[in-house]
Structure 1
């Protein structure tokens, strides 16, 4: 009985740990997706507004990967 109780507590704590790791992974991936979408929208908006300016100027870091193919 004592062993069963310990095993039960261990399984609960293991389940909580697994659930927390899944939750953290989902949260991080959600934030990464939101950041990626916002980053892409910001880049496209900025490039549309300042297209002529960025062709002749060294671009800042966030726009670097998109300006190189202009």
Structure 2
């Protein structure tokens, strides 16, 4: 399952949830500002919980891979 996509024709090339025009950055902005995952999902009904969790998991895996390489 593709969880993220980037297309210069969609949202000026911002990394988005696959199949949507919702930038992945919005999820991290919500969490950074103290909102919950539920708040994000309520405000962006095009994104389902499994999709959002998959993006968070991909970010976690990348973070740990980068830390191990450092």
- TM-score when normalising by structure 1: 0.33
**Structure with more helix by fraction:** 1
- TM-score when normalising by structure 2: 0.33
